[in-house]
Structure 1
Amino acid sequence: MKFSFTKMHGAGNDFVVIDATRERFKATPELLARLSDRRFGVGCDQVLVIEAPTAAGIDFDYRIFNADGSEVGQCGNGTRALARYVHEHGLSDKPRLRVQTATATMELQRLDGNQVRVDMGAPRFAPAQIPLALPQAERYRLESARFGAIEFGVANMGNPHAVILVADVDKAEVEAIGRELQARREVFPESVNVGFLQIVDQGFGRLRVYERGSGETLACGSGACAAVAVARRWGLFGSAVKLQLRGGELQLEWSGVDADSILMTGPAETVFSGEIEWQQ
Structure 2
Amino acid sequence: MVEFAKMQGCGNDFILMHREDLRWPVSPFAKMVCDRKFGVGADGLLMVAPSQKATVRMVYYNSDGSPASFCGNGIRCFARYVRDQGFADSDQFTIESDAGIHKVRLISGGSVSVEMGKPQFEPAEIPVLLPGKQVLNRDYHNKKISCVKIGVPHTIWFVKDCEEPDLVKEAKLFEHNPDFPDSTNFSAATILAPDALAVRTCERGAGLTLACGSGCCAAVAVGQQMGLLRPQVTVTTEGGRVQVKRDAEGVLWLTGPAQWICRGRLCGELLARMQEKG
TM tier relative to shorter chain = over 0.9
Cα gap change, 1:142 to 1:218, in 2 (>3 Å): same
Unpaired segments ≥5 residues, structure 2? none
* Residue 70 (structure 1) shift: 0.8
- The residue that corresponds to 1:158 in the other structure is 151
Q: How many residues are treated as equivalent by the alignment?
A: 268
* Residue 23 (structure 1) shift: 4.4
Q: Is the partner of 1:213 in helix, strand or coil? A: coil
Q: Is the partner of 1:176 in helix, strand or coil? A: helix
More displaced, 175-184 or 155-164?
175-184
Q: Does residue 1:263 correspond to 2:253, yes or no?
A: yes
* Residue 179 (structure 1) shift: 1.3
- Which amino acid in the other structure matches residue 173 of structure 2? E
- Which amino acid in the other structure matches residue 232 of structure 1? Q
- The residue that corresponds to 1:11 in the other structure is 10
Aligned positions of 1:72-87 closer than 5 A: 72-87=68-83
* Residue 140 (structure 1) shift: 2.2
Cα gap change, 1:237 to 1:231, in 2 (>3 Å): same
* Residue 204 (structure 1) shift: 0.6
Q: Is the partner of 2:131 in helix, strand or coil? A: coil
Q: Does residue 1:212 correspond to 2:168, yes or no?
A: no
Q: Is the partner of 2:80 in helix, strand or coil? A: helix
Aligned positions of 1:223-234 closer than 5 A: 223-234=215-226
Cα gap change, 1:90 to 1:171, in 2 (>3 Å): same
User: For residues 220-247 of structure 1, what are the alpha-carbon distances to aligned partners after superposition, in whole Å with 9 as ceiling and x for unaligned?
Assistant: 1111111000011111110110000010
Q: Is the partner of 1:253 in helix, strand or coil? A: strand
- The residue that corresponds to 2:35 in the other structure is 37
Q: What is the TM-score normalised by the length of structure 2?
A: 0.93
Question: Do the aligned partners of 2:27 and 2:67 also contact (CA within 8 Å) in 1?
Answer: no
Q: What CA distance in whole angstroms lies between the structure 2 residues aligned with 1:139 and 1:245?
A: 22
User: For residues 43-89 of structure 1, what are the alpha-carbon distances to aligned partners after superposition, in whole Å with 9 as ceiling and x for unaligned?
Assistant: 00010011111x23x10111110111111111111111011111222
Unpaired segments ≥5 residues, structure 1? 144-148
Pick one of 181, 191, 212 that aligns with 1:189. Answer: 181
Q: What is the TM-score normalised by the length of structure 1?
A: 0.92
User: For residues 4-36 of structure 1, what are the alpha-carbon distances to aligned partners after superposition, in whole Å with 9 as ceiling and x for unaligned?
Assistant: 10010001000000123x545544332111111
Aligned positions of 1:1-280 closer than 5 A: 2-20=1-19, 23=21, 26-53=24-51, 55-56=52-53, 58-136=54-132, 137=134, 138-143=136-141, 149-184=142-177, 186-255=178-247, 260-276=250-266, 277=268, 278-279=271-272, 280=275
Q: What CA distance in whole angstroms lies between the structure 1 residues aligned with 2:23 and 2:115?
A: 27
Cα gap change, 1:133 to 1:164, in 2 (>3 Å): same
Q: What CA distance in whole angstroms lies between the structure 2 residues aligned with 1:179 and 1:35?
A: 25
Q: What CA distance in whole angstroms lies between the structure 2 residues aligned with 1:233 and 1:29?
A: 36
- Which amino acid in the other structure matches residue 252 of structure 1? V
Identity of aligned residues (%): 31
- Which amino acid in the other structure matches residue 240 of structure 1? Q
Q: Is the partner of 2:242 in helix, strand or coil? A: strand
User: For residues 90-139 of structure 1, what are the alpha-carbon distances to aligned partners after superposition, in whole Å with 9 as ceiling and x for unaligned?
Assistant: 22221111111122221100011101100001110000011000112433
